Amino acid sequence: MLEVSGLQASYGAGQVLFGVDLRVGEGEVVTLLGRNGMGKTTTVNAIMGLLAPKAGRVAFCGRELTGRPAHEAARAGLGLVPEGRQIFPNLTVRENLVATANGGADGRGAWTLERVFALFPRLQERQDQMGSSLSGGEQQMLAIGRALMTNPRLLLLDEATEGLAPLIRKEIWQVLLSLKRAGQSILVIDKNVKALKRIADRHYVLEKGRIVWQGSSAELEAERERLERHLGV
């Protein structure tokens, strides 16, 4: 479904990605692992059209997205939960959820407020509160709910549980697992390799803008020691 090949990206004169290849298949949960500063967010931003790549190709469901603006990526069915959540602080929870909602790329429109509230009962309780009044964990739930309301064919999460309390993290992992069971395709960035090994099908390890390893969860477990220095665990 997502095909990224030879992706290169720079900030000014500083090149950050040196030819990233990765793919996500229909219904797959795939991770992008690596220590801080290795280029994970840059990869996601280049896929989403938030940063114009220097070279390489991004294709999604047979559609050419390379260098196209972010609204086209969204329309094609890419739903981003950005690093730092970036919810609208001056809108209520409910308004945040409906502000960018749409029926999705194939127009089936399966996600509704009711379904998001069933997934995150806490958001229902707080539906009339301002985004700014939520805890970090609630904001992350809101960011996930908001992305789901666009009915994405592929959900991308940049730092899924960064900075969240252990119980909230567990809740987020549980939600991702239930989404996976429902057939949702997901590309996820996080540092929690242990949780990701349980949830994800395949993994990519990024080191200084290059994919240095890829494999299944079983392979990741088998090669854990060798990979530890790339993962910073």
Question: Which residues, numbered 160-199, are part of the site for ligand ADP (CB under 6 A)?
Answer: none
Instruction: Examine residue 16 and tell whether it contacts ligand ADP (CB under 6 A).
Output: yes
Stretch that binds ligand ADP, among 10-18, 60-68, 113-121, 193-201 (CB under 6 A): 10-18
Angle at 23 between CA 142 and CA 120, to 5 degrees: 15
Token pair 């086209």 in the structure block, residue: 72
Say whether residue 11 binds ligand ADP (CB under 6 A).
yes
The strand pair at 78-81 and 210-216 is best described as unpaired
The window from 32-40, 109-117, 123-131, 214-222 that contacts ligand ADP (CB under 6 A) reads 32-40
| 194 contact partners, CB below 8 Å, separation of at least 6 | none
* Alpha-carbon span 169 to 175, nearest angstrom: 10
CB of 43 to ligand ADP, least distance (A): 7
What crossing angle do the helices spanning 166-181 and 136-148 adopt, rounded to 10°?
Answer: 10
Nearest distance from C-beta of residue 186 to ligand ADP, angstroms: 17
* 37 lies in the binding site for ligand ADP (CB under 6 A): yes
Q: Is 214 exposed, middle or buried (0-12, 13-18, 19+ CB in 10 A)?
A: middle
What is the contact mask toward ligand ADP in residues 60 to 99, using x (rule: CB under 6 A)? ----------------------------------------
Binding site for ligand ADP (CB under 6 A): 11, 14, 16, 34, 36-42
